[in-house]
Amino acid sequence: MTSLAPTSLAGKLAGFADHWNPRVVADYNDHEVRVAKLEGAFIWHSHAETDELFLVLKGAMRIEFRDGIAELGEGDLLVVPKGVEHRPVADAECHILLIDRAGEPNTVGQPSHLTRQALERA
């Protein structure tokens, strides 16, 4: 039988210290539920075939778009539609939950030093 125990997101986040390296904490249909710690600026990128969900668990961040900025605080959620170029930025450490398509690299088709082809499971 599949385990129906809850997942402590705070516990998972306490298990690592690096930034911009999402960890998979659960699977949801054909998607992965991921947690990450952010600090600084990510790269500009887009997801051609899938939306991306951001939920701020602790701290604050912004998501920059070519035509504007979305400010997110604790408890705020934003879905970036597929094909929309964006850049997450956190001026101080921020903890987030992401939902992305299973197996999709974090930088999609824009490889950089921040690309994680295979994500770790927390």
**Nearest to residue 62, comparing CAs of 81, 82, 42, 48?**
42
Dihedral over Cα of 66, 97, 19, 93: its sign: positive
**pLDDT tens for the 122 residues of the chain, in order:** 566 899 999 999 999 999 999 999 999 999 999 999 999 999 999 988 889 999 999 999 999 999 999 999 999 999 999 999 999 999 999 999 999 998 876 666 666 666 666 777 88
Assess if residue 4 is contained within a domain: no
What domain range includes position 48? 24-121
How many folded domains does the chain comprise?
Answer: 1
Dist CA 66 CA 24 (whole Å): 29
The pTM (predicted TM-score) of the whole model is: 0.90
Assess if residue 13 is contained within a domain: no
Dist CA 20 CA 39 (whole Å): 8
Assess if residue 9 is contained within a domain: no
Tokens 């385990």 locate to 3
Distance, first Cα to last Cα, the chain? 21
